[in-house]
A = this chain, B = another copy of it.
Amino acid sequence: MPPASVARLPVYLRVLDDLAASGVRGASSAELADLAGVGPAQLRKDLSHLGSHGTRGVGYDVVRLRDLVGAALGVGERSALAIVGVGNLGRALARSAGFASRGFVVSALLDADPAVVGTVVGGVAVDDVADLGRVVAARGVSIAVVATPAAAAQGVCDAVVAAGVREILSFAPCALQVPPGVVLRSVDLASELQILAFHARARAARAARPATGATGPGRGGVPGP
């Protein structure tokens, strides 16, 4: 399955969950695509990677499709998370309600600061990052969230990989190296803002020099990543 399609499955799942909760039984690709913010053809192709589960001439069974997409994403298998780095962001993630509702359980919090180790955040005690291997093994952690400063991120990353974790989500503002077979996703909040700032600057430049080719302002918003 193409990575781009995988990245859209969570969006479809949310749309399907909402519809199912509203009691809607069936929906066409056009309706679903509209709610998901993509094109109907793209939604159909994405779903086709999971097999043929629509009914021609009718559409999709919302509940059936939700269960299918949910199964592909491992919903219902309650993944154990370890959050490494209990700073502002780590704390917010630990307390975030959105995770539990999607099948993720914050099972471990780790930090290097002795002042933080031993405190309880969101009902979970903070352990010393030195015990990372033991904690990860004991609690069956399958996904690690790296929320440390950049300087510590690569070391933490190596440690969680050594502990057997194969999926990592990093918020550290730096490029991380992982061995083959480990899946790493990075989210950098400052970079997101800088990308927006680039567009703000481009718009300002455009406004200062109003006419170059077309007269009107460039059309179309920029869609998500």
Chain A interface (Cβ within 8 Å of chain B)? 3, 6-7, 9-11, 13-14, 35-37, 72-75, 77, 79, 81, 88-89, 91-93, 95-96, 98-99, 102-104, 142-143, 166-169, 173-201, 203, 217-225
Contact = CB atoms under 8 A, between A and B. Distances in A.
A218 B37 CA distance: 32
Nearest to A3: B222
24 contacts: A3-B222, A11-B175, A73-B197, A73-B198, A73-B201, A74-B201, A77-B197, A79-B197, A89-B96, A91-B92, A104-B190, A143-B193, A166-B199, A169-B192, A180-B217, A180-B219, A180-B220, A180-B221, A181-B220, A182-B221, A185-B195, A187-B187, A187-B189, A225-B225
A36 B173 CA distance: 11
Which 4 pairs show the lowest CB-CB distances between chains A and B? Answer: A37-B175, A92-B92, A10-B191, A167-B196
A95 B86 CA distance: 14
Contact of A79 (B99, B185, B200): B200
Question: Which secondary structure dominates where chain A touches chain B?
Answer: mixed
Q: Count this chain's copies in the assembly.
A: 2
A52 to B, nearest CB: 20
Nearest to A170: B224
Contacts of A13: 194
A7 B197 CA distance: 11
Nearest to A34: B175
Contacts of A166: 199-200, 203
Nearest to A94: B88
A186 B96 CA distance: 18
B102 A96 contact: no
Residue among A13, A188, A191 with max Cβ neighbours from chain B (10 Å): A191
A114 B188 CA distance: 31
Given A173-B98, A189-B98, A196 B10 contact: no
